[in-house]
Amino acid sequence: MTTEHTDPYVTMDDDDDEYDVDRVLADFLEQSIKSTEEEKNEKIYQNSLGRHTVPTDPQFKGALEHITKYTMEQSRRFLAMVELWKQTEELKSNILPRYTGPVDDLMVDTVTGHYGLYQITRQFNNSHTATAVHRDLWDIRRMRIEVGSTILADDGSCYLTPLHQLLPGDTIAVKEVAFVDGMACATKFCLFKRSVNENQTIHIGKNLRPVVFGTGKAGITAEDPKSLVSGSTHQADIFYPVKCPASSRNACLPMTQPVVLKYKENLDLNKKEISFNSIRNCRYTPDLLEYLAVMGSSAITAVRRGVWDTLHHSCTFREEDGFLKFGLRSTSPLWSPGTQIGIAGVGQAVITYTDGDLKKDRWMSITAKPLGNLNFENLKADPTRWVFQVMQRAPPILPLGFYEKMEDGTNGKKIVKALYGESFIGVDGEDIERHGFEVFGVIEQLPNQECPLITPLDRTYPITLDAPQSTYIHRLVRGAFPITVANFPVLSGKTSTVVIAALEAAKARPGTQHLVFVPDELGAQSLVERMESIQAESKVSAVRMIELSDWRNLSDNERTHLDYPVLLRQFVQEVVAGKYGLEEFLIKKATEYKEGTDDIFWLCNYFEKVRPQIIISKFETIFSNTTIFQFLDKVATIQLDNADQIPQIDLIQTCVQFPSARYGLIGDAVKDRPSFPGMSNPQVNLTIGWLIEKSITQRMFPIVTSNHVYGGVNAKIVELIGNVYYKDRELRSETKLVETVNYLEKRPDIWSNPLYPVKILKHCFEHFGREHRLEKDAEQLELLEKLVKTLAPIPMDHIGVLCFLNRHLPMLHKTFHNSGITYGLPDAFHGIQKEILIIWGGFGGLKEGLTMHESTFALTRGKQAVFILSQVDDMKLMKPDRKGVSWKDILNIVKTNGEVKKAKLVENKPEIMLLGTNALVNTVTKKKKKGTKTKKTVIQESKILITPSIGVKGKSIIEYQKNALNTWKNRFDFANVEAIVFLLDLTEDEETNRKFGELVQKLAEEVKEITIIPYKTVGVTSEMMESWKRNWITAGNVEWIESSASGKKFKTWEQLLEFLETCTTDNVVVAKLRKKSGTTDKLM
């Protein structure tokens, strides 16, 4: 009998080999199970077994009171009893009945005597693991519960444990313990009563995790979640496990999650949520408005907390060019890009990429970007570490009743009403009633919301403002309008406009405060840098608010001198110097200041004395620290920079907090909205919305539209972007004359048409499929390198190479390091443009395609010209964005202009030609002609061994190399082969093992019989081995045979045969080899 993992919805603890199933203990406990006939209505009271007793403790009520009042003395007494049982107790089998009723009947409210408090954290089919709640129980931090464990009812009766009725997070009081082979098992325990809230509203996310309405907590289901549907809403009964205070919490105890017990779909709420984003005539009542807002607030809070999986996983890491890579066994997409993770003893990182077929192999290959000063030395010393998802701070949820409490007539309430279709705000600022969001045609009856443009402002700034910029700034600074929305395209000066508007507003009203919200820390960094380049000599006091923990996770390049931790340090030094004339005890406290201590105290003093006028921050930072609100008492304007990337629910919550402020939203209606992992479509609509796009299409707010594009980008590149993404607008390139060589005119050998700057280099690669990926990448990299050489004498620091795939980054680093060329992923090009940009597409590896923002950002990184290296078929097959636009549209336009050129090998010459130009690029000789097939080696033997290098060779042995598994099979013809013994060289590298699995599956399609024998298993755990066995042995003609897997090389054929015969005695391959063993030349 074996114990298997149940589905992940009942898994809450870490993978710990020390607590794997021990069948000796399990067999003993199962002996006490009685037949159904013997246990009917039977109650057996357990007699005293002569166990040691202790004085009775004060009685507490319920699990919460027991946990919070559990003392060190109680834990010591329990551990002392455990030691006695370990030394003197013999296992005794007790005949007990199985309780046929619900486990609720056996739950208790009070427990006396000695006991240890544990919570169920991991569930298997035939056993559970419970983890100690308190750190004082560290010596026995985990406890096994088996099918034969005894559950003690309130009246003292004992029954066999109904494992299937226990839930993750159940709190138990362990009364007696038995040990087998050093492992602790709870032989008797009490189950505390559960705290269950009935008729709660839950919404199911994309990852099938329920989000509890009004709490923002992500839960799990007691039943199989596959019966749930993403995006559906239910009424449910929810069990809330008791939390242990942080001061006494056991570090191994996973976070608790609400457990959904039973649920019923709420069709009425489903319809209301789905209809919110539909264009239809329907009136949103205040009650419905509040429900939709609170549901959206709950969903985004669950995402921002960032923990969908409470497990601690043991993973082996490796570092590649500054990124961390590791494999994770998971059965659901709970570890997605953007998830912040902690690595025990090393630091934190954020997931950037995941790969793996979860349905097929249940393994994910994960790439993560280190945050802050990650300790690579510790990781190198011990690469196997515990990894877990890090709980993030999240703002409080909007409460029900928030809308009714908002004062009528305030700017904030007007904006909220407009967002839900109750009204719209006209150009003059008036709040006008409407009846829901109108269908197209009806919308034309509403007044035009375009604001009349004013004459550009004459300000003493280093940039010249255009009319749309000036209009937006004037309305925010001088007007009395509740809100103005600026719809500006790519590179239109959005951030500069926001900075100048904030500066002008601060100067116009000294003593007032002006908030600028950004979608991420990169946006905050860009805004601070722009402010520094724009501000005149008389600077306005400003601060970039950021949590100290988040600030420490930034690299030096991502920090600015306006960061709050930096300014706070300066403030404390000024206090010590006596600048503010504070009392002596404050000066003394300042001299003892240590970063990260007395945070609230110094936050209050900083804002009280410095009173910064401009506060730049992410929404989460401000709203997660409610202390700061008492100092934000004179907020006059609030701007959302890149508002298309900021959730609508954040604007609503800001309006609730600051109802009297004037609001400015600046963004691009064409851009895709941000994506949040785990959210269903209704959750995304309620949470993220379409702030800029819907403001325009539904005429909710006054609009200022710009069609100007700056940044010195070639007018034809701007025209390409306009034709693809801004079809209903005419973008205008505002390129200024600069003293830069026009490379397109100077190099007619490359640009035969200097009037068109975009060139697609069509890579002619004859192979298809994942197995040829490395070969294709190598050839494309060679093309890139030679193209760069051809561009000479253009200075290298005028050239950039941008890629989209993580796997391309180390290849670029190896090729262009210290060359002067800027290269890397899009992040490396923020705030950077080059005269010539080369885009290494890799479009075939982009599972989700590219968003409009990603595409336009890449295209505008080249001022004069852009090369795109890609296979044309990859561009054609790319997944389109939400508006159906893909790089196929870009390909067609470039093709129409005659600038799709083949980049291929010139036959019999050491050159690569870019057809259609006069440019010849030197490279290594390529002898293979197009269409020439590689000749395969025909295997004559019918029964063979496939092995790594094992020390002996022969006709029947075909060797493989792990670094060439993708192409190895294509070298041989297996038509004559009937049976194979495959000696497997397994490693802890998931990618290599995945390739092994694919190779076995391909061989199984051609060969009648395959036997897999592990030959070497370095660093491979038993769980990994079991996973591979289950996932590889999918065909009926494949068999797995266990072995010692020592990996030792054989000196003679006889040693090899002894090894094989130890593993199997009836295998046809081994039998044939033994038969031939008498004749050496037949083997060799």
Q: What is the pLDDT of residues 878-912, one digit of tens each?
A: 888 877 888 889 999 999 998 988 876 444 343 44
Please state, in angstroms and rounded to a whole number, the distance separating the CA atoms of residues 170 and 159. 18
pLDDT at 878: 86
pLDDT at 440: 58
pLDDT in tens, 223-235: 777 778 888 999 9
Nearest to 861 by CA among 893, 830, 817, 820: 830
Q: Which residues pair with 912 in a beta bridge?
A: 905, 921
Asked whether the bond before 58 is cis by omega within 30 degrees of 0, the reply is no
Angle of helix 648-657 versus helix 286-305 axis, rounded to 10: 110
pLDDT at 829: 93
Please state, in angstroms and rounded to a whole number, the distance separating the CA atoms of residues 167 and 192. 12
Nearest to 145 by CA among 130, 160, 167, 125: 130
Please state, in angstroms and rounded to a whole number, the distance separating the CA atoms of residues 483 and 703. 9
Please state, in angstroms and rounded to a whole number, the distance separating the CA atoms of residues 428 and 687. 29
Q: Which residues pair with 760 in a beta bridge?
A: 868, 900
pLDDT at 4: 33
pLDDT in tens, 153-183: 998 899 999 999 999 999 999 999 998 777 8
* SS3 of residue 145 by DSSP: strand
pLDDT band at 39 (very low <50, low <70, confident <90, very high): very low
pLDDT at 1048: 81
Which range is least confidently modeled, 22-36, 382-396, 551-565, 980-994? 22-36
Please state, in angstroms and rounded to a whole number, the distance separating the CA atoms of residues 280 and 677. 28
Nearest to 145 by CA among 103, 114, 177, 109: 177
pLDDT band at 13 (very low <50, low <70, confident <90, very high): very low
pLDDT band at 616 (very low <50, low <70, confident <90, very high): very high
Please state, in angstroms and rounded to a whole number, the distance separating the CA atoms of residues 753 and 222. 66
Please state, in angstroms and rounded to a whole number, the distance separating the CA atoms of residues 249 and 347. 21
Please say if the pLDDT value at position 497 is more than 50. Answer: yes
Mean pLDDT over the full length of the chain = 83
Of 1010 and 993, the structure prediction assigns the larger pLDDT to 1010
Which range is least confidently modeled, 90-94, 95-99, 442-446, 717-721? 90-94
pLDDT at 136: 93
Q: How far is CA 488 from the centre of its chain?
A: 30
DSSP string covering 538-552? SPPPEEE---HHHHH
pLDDT at 57: 53
Of 552 and 848, the structure prediction assigns the larger pLDDT to 552
What mean pLDDT comes out for the span 844-848?
79
Would you say 350 and 341 are in contact if contact means Cβ atoms under 8 Å apart? yes
pLDDT at 1074: 78
pLDDT in tens, 284-333: 678 888 999 999 999 999 999 888 888 788 899 998 878 899 988 765 57
pLDDT in tens, 944-988: 999 988 888 888 889 888 877 878 888 888 888 989 999 988 877
Please state, in angstroms and rounded to a whole number, the distance separating the CA atoms of residues 522 and 514. 20
- Residue 627: CB atoms within 10 Å: 12
Tokens 């092995």 belong to residue: 947
The alpha carbon dihedral of 1038, 1042, 1048, 1053 has a sign of negative
Please state, in angstroms and rounded to a whole number, the distance separating the CA atoms of residues 631 and 625. 12
pLDDT band at 51 (very low <50, low <70, confident <90, very high): very low
Three-state secondary structure along 558-573?
Answer: HCCCCEHHHHHHHHHH
Residue type, 553: N
Q: H/E element holding 67? A: helix 62-68
Q: H/E element holding 965? A: helix 965-968
Would you say 442 and 281 are in contact if contact means Cβ atoms under 8 Å apart? yes
Nearest to 446 by CA among 466, 425, 416, 460: 425
Instruction: Kindly tell me the number of DSSP H helices and DSSP E strands found in the chain.
Output: 34, 45
Please state, in angstroms and rounded to a whole number, the distance separating the CA atoms of residues 640 and 695. 14
What mean pLDDT comes out for the span 64-82?
92
Which range is least confidently modeled, 529-543, 722-736, 850-864? 529-543
Please say if the pLDDT value at position 570 is more than 90. Answer: yes
Those residues with Cβ within 8 angstroms of residue 556's Cβ, 6 or more apart along the chain or in another chain? none
Separation in Å, CA 554 to CA 325, 335, 557: 20, 22, 8
Please state, in angstroms and rounded to a whole number, the distance separating the CA atoms of residues 321 and 292. 45
Which range is least confidently modeled, 210-219, 334-343, 1050-1059? 1050-1059
pLDDT at 165: 93
Tokens 């402002």 belong to residue: 457
Please say if the pLDDT value at position 653 is more than 90. Answer: yes
Q: Which residues pair with 131 in a beta bridge?
A: 119, 142
Nearest to 574 by CA among 593, 550, 596: 593
pLDDT at 222: 86
Would you say 895 and 529 are in contact if contact means Cβ atoms under 8 Å apart? no
Query: By percentage, how much of the chain surpasses pLDDT 90?
Result: 43
pLDDT at 822: 94
Q: In terms of C-beta density within 10 A (0-12 exposed, 13-18 middle, 19 or more buried), how is residue 730 classed?
A: exposed
Of 276 and 293, the structure prediction assigns the larger pLDDT to 293
pLDDT in tens, 945-957: 999 888 888 888 8
Would you say 229 and 204 are in contact if contact means Cβ atoms under 8 Å apart? yes
Please say if the pLDDT value at position 1054 is more than 70. Answer: yes
pLDDT at 280: 54
pLDDT band at 765 (very low <50, low <70, confident <90, very high): low
Separation in Å, CA 136 to CA 62, 659, 804: 20, 49, 49
Three-state secondary structure along 83-98?
Answer: HHHHHHCCCCCCCECE
Please say if the pLDDT value at position 134 is more than 80. Answer: yes
Q: Which residues pair with 340 in a beta bridge?
A: 350
CB-facing half-sphere around the CA of 932: CA atoms within 13 A: 8
Q: How far is CA 653 from the centre of its chain?
A: 25
Angle of helix 411-419 versus helix 648-657 axis, rounded to 10: 150
Which range is least confidently modeled, 103-117, 241-255, 311-325, 737-751? 737-751
Of 349 and 927, the structure prediction assigns the larger pLDDT to 349
Given phi > 0 = left and psi -120 to 50 = alpha, else beta, which region is 224?
beta
End-to-end C-alpha distance for the chain, whole angstroms = 44
Hey, what's the torsion of the CAs at 162, 165, 166, 172, to 10 degrees?
-60
Would you say 521 and 339 are in contact if contact means Cβ atoms under 8 Å apart? no
Which range is least confidently modeled, 460-469, 656-665, 768-777? 768-777
Please state, in angstroms and rounded to a whole number, the distance separating the CA atoms of residues 502 and 506. 6
b vs e for 178-188, b when ≥16 Cβ sit within 10 Å of the residue's Cβ?
bbbeebbbbbb
Paired sense of beta strands 911-914 and 900-905, if any:
antiparallel
Please say if the pLDDT value at position 197 is more than 90. Answer: yes
Please state, in angstroms and rounded to a whole number, the distance separating the CA atoms of residues 19 and 1065. 34
Those residues with Cβ within 8 angstroms of residue 904's Cβ, 6 or more apart along the chain or in another chain? 763, 764, 912, 913, 915, 930
- pTM of the complete model: 0.76
pLDDT at 901: 86
pLDDT band at 932 (very low <50, low <70, confident <90, very high): very low
pLDDT at 676: 83
Please state, in angstroms and rounded to a whole number, the distance separating the CA atoms of residues 763 and 9. 46
Those residues with Cβ within 8 angstroms of residue 379's Cβ, 6 or more apart along the chain or in another chain? 317, 319, 324, 343, 346, 385
Those residues with Cβ within 8 angstroms of residue 729's Cβ, 6 or more apart along the chain or in another chain? 489, 705, 707, 722
Q: How far is CA 456 from the centre of its chain?
A: 44
b vs e for 141-157, b when ≥16 Cβ sit within 10 Å of the residue's Cβ?
bbbbbbbbbbbbbeeeb
The alpha carbon dihedral of 722, 723, 728, 729 has a sign of positive
Contacts 24+ apart (CB under 8 A), 1000-1008: 1000/1032, 1000/1038, 1001/1032, 1001/1034, 1001/1035, 1002/969, 1003/946, 1003/969, 1003/974, 1004/1035, 1004/1037, 1004/1038, 1006/974, 1006/975, 1006/977, 1007/974, 1007/977, 1007/978, 1007/979, 1007/980, 1007/1037, 1008/978, 1008/979, 1008/1037
